[in-house]
């Protein structure tokens, strides 16, 4: 089953778009190079922390998301 990803643009040095699927608890990121990745085991509080006002996406990615199970989706 293919998940419909509702991409939202973001201002970041590395990430151009982001999305969250609460049913599968997955964060989706599209990077500047066009690569799209899915990060699993991300309950709602992880998404809220990642997207909190003033939170650096890059710092949070390197501190938390890059250690989550992940897969390239394109």
| Residue-wise pLDDT tens digits, 10-52 | 988 889 999 999 999 999 999 999 999 999 999 999 999 999 9
DSSP class of residue 9? E
Q: What letters, b where the CB count within 10 A reaches 16 and e where it falls short, cover 19-36?
A: bbbeeebbbbbbeeeeeb
pLDDT of residue 1: 54
**pTM for the whole thing?**
0.93
Q: Are 32 and 15 in contact (CB under 8 A)?
A: yes
């Amino acid at each position: 089953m293919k998940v419909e990803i509702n991409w939202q643009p973001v201002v970041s040095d590395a990430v151009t778009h982001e999305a969250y699927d609460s049913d599968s608890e997955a964060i989706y990121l599209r990077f500047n190079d066009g690569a799209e990745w899915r990060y699993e085991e991300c309950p709602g509080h992880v998404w809220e922390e990642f997207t909190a006002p003033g939170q650096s996406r890059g710092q949070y990615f390197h501190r938390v998301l890059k250690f989550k199970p992940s897969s390239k989706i394109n």
